[in-house]
Amino acid sequence: QPGTYLYHAHYGMQRVAGLNGMIVVTVPEGFVEPFSYDEEHTVLLGDWWHKSVYEQATGLSANPFVFVTEPQSLLINGRGMFNCSLAPSGTCNASRPDCALPTLFTAVPGKTYLLRIGSLTSLSSLYFEIEGHPMMVVEADGHYVRPFAVRGLFIYSGETYSVLVKADQDPRRNYWAASHVVGRNPSQTPSGKAVVSYAFNGNNPWMPPPTAPPAGPPWNNTAIRVDQSRAIFAHPHFVEPMPARADRTLLFLNTQNRIDGHIKWTINGVSLMFPATPYLVAMKRGMKDAYEQRPPPDMYDHMSHDISAPAPTNGTVGSPVYRLALGSVVDVVLQNSNMLNNKSETHPWHLHGHDFWVLGYGEGKFNPAADAWRLLNVRDPIMKNTVPLHPDGWTAVRFRADNPGVWLFHCHVEAHVFMGMGVVFEEGVERVGRLPSSIMGCGRSKGLH
C-alpha cells in the first residue's frame, strides 16, 4: 500500500533509545494520486530523555514505581535542543554547527510541498505546525483522506500523515516549524524547533525567523484534539467498503492498577507480559505451557463500572491470547478511564498486521445499546493502523481478521506497553508456513530448527 510507514524495535524499549525510522512506499507507475505537489520531504517527530532506557525500565518495574516523567527534548528528524547551561559541563557546545537550528526544508516561492510526517514519540502527543503555513491533510497511515485544512497537526505516536504546504509567504525571511507536547503538561519539555527556509532569494538558511517561535495550542484542551480526530474521513474515491456488521465485539477497558506493589496497566483486568518464548513458535510447536491458555475477557462490566473511579479490580499479570476466527469481522471499543491519580490520559492504540476502519470517538462511557452504534460512521470511515483513545472517552474500530498470525494491539506509549497495556490477537495460525530457523533463540525456541 503506497504511503508513509514507521518502523521500530519492539523489544525492551529499544525504540526509546533511537532504533526507529520511516519507510515511504511510492505509488506504482501510472497511478494518479488525488493531489499534486512539486517536492516531498519527510518529517519524523520524536521525544528524548537524558535517562537511559535501562534506567527508565528499571524505574517502571520498581517498587516504589518511578515513572519516566516528561522528555527533556522534542526531536524533529532526530535533532533537538536543550538548554546547555543545564547540561553537565563539556557535554554541549552551542557554537558547533550541529547544535544550530536544523533546516526542515528549503521553500521555493509558489511551490507546493508534500510533507510525510510521522511520530515515533515514546510518550508525547504532539502538535506540529509551520508558522504562517496552513496544512492540507491528504493521507493518514497509508490511506487517502478527504482533504481538510489545519493550522497545525495533532499527531500521536505511531501515526503518519501527509500534508500539503504551499510556499506562499514573504520569501525574504525564514519561518518556524515546531512540535509541542499536548495532552501532558509540557512545562518540562521545550518545543521542538526547525526552520523552513526561503533560500530562493539568497536568504540565509541558518537565519532564525524574526518572530518568536509559535507557542502551540493549550496542552489540556482535549476538545480541539477530538475535533481533528473526527475530521478524518476516507477520500471519496478511496473508500474501502466496510463489512456491515461484526461477528464479535470486544469492549476493552483500560485501568491503571497496583498489582503486588507494582503499577501496571490492565485491559479488562489483564496486564500483558510477553512470554519468553514467542507466541508464534509456541503455537506452531504446540508448547501449551509457554503462554497462558485461558482466554482473556471480551468485555468488562460496562453496566456498573464507573470510569471516573480508578481500577475495578486488582487485576492479574498474564499472557493470554484473543483467538479470532480467520476472516471474521471484529469490532473493538477502547474505553478510557481514570488512572490511580484520578486523571485520564491519551493512549494511541496501534494494531499490527491489519488496518482498521475508524468507526468513531465518544465522550464518557460507551453504551453498547443500539443508541451508541448509531453515532458511528459506516459510510466513509478512514482506515488506519493507529488511533488515539482520548482522555475520558472511547474509540471504536472494526477490522477483518484476515492475516494469519499472531498480532499485538497495544498502546504506542512505550512506558505503557511495558506496563502491560496491550492485547494479543491470533487468527489462522495454522495457515502460517514453516518458521525459519533464523527466528529461533528466545525462551524455549532456543536450538529449534
Ligand X SMILES: O=C1O[C@H]([C@@H](O)CO)C(O)=C1O
Interface with ligand X (CB under 6 A): 67, 256, 339, 341, 345, 415-416, 419
Nearer to ligand X, 190 or 391 (CB): 391
CB of 165 to ligand X, least distance (A): 32
Indicate the residue among 130 and 421 with the shorter CB distance to ligand X: 421
| Of 376 and 415, CB closest to ligand X | 415
- Taking the least distance from each CB to ligand X, the nearer of 70 and 380 is 70
Q: Which is nearer to ligand X, 95 or 341 (CB)?
A: 341
In angstroms, give the least distance from the CB of 348 to ligand X: 12
Rank residues 47 and 129 by Cβ distance to ligand X and give the closer one. 47
Instruction: Provide, rounded to whole angstroms, the least separation between the CB of residue 66 and ligand X.
Output: 8
> Given the complex with ligand X, which of 179 and 256 has the nearer CB atom?
256
Tell me the closest approach of the beta carbon of residue 419 to ligand X, in angstroms. 6
- The least CB distance from residue 265 to ligand X, in Å, is 7
CB closer to ligand X, 89 vs 342 = 342
Give pairs for 437-445: CB < 8 Å, separation 24+.
439/278, 439/281, 440/281, 442/276, 442/277, 442/278, 443/275, 443/276, 443/277, 443/278, 443/290, 444/276, 444/277, 444/281, 444/282, 444/287, 444/290, 445/277, 445/278, 445/281
Strand partners, 317: 271
CB of 310 to ligand X, least distance (A): 10
- In the complex, the smallest distance separating the C-beta of residue 416 from ligand X, rounded to whole angstroms, is 6
- Of 304 and 341, nearer to ligand X (C-beta) is 341
CB of 297 to ligand X, least distance (A): 22
What is the smallest separation between the CB atom of 421 and ligand X, expressed in angstroms?
8
> Which residues make Cβ contacts (< 8 Å) with residue 298, sequence separation at least 6?
248, 249, 250, 251, 268, 322
Q: Minimal distance in Å, beta carbon 345 to ligand X? A: 5
Q: Which CB, 162 or 255, lies closer to ligand X? A: 255
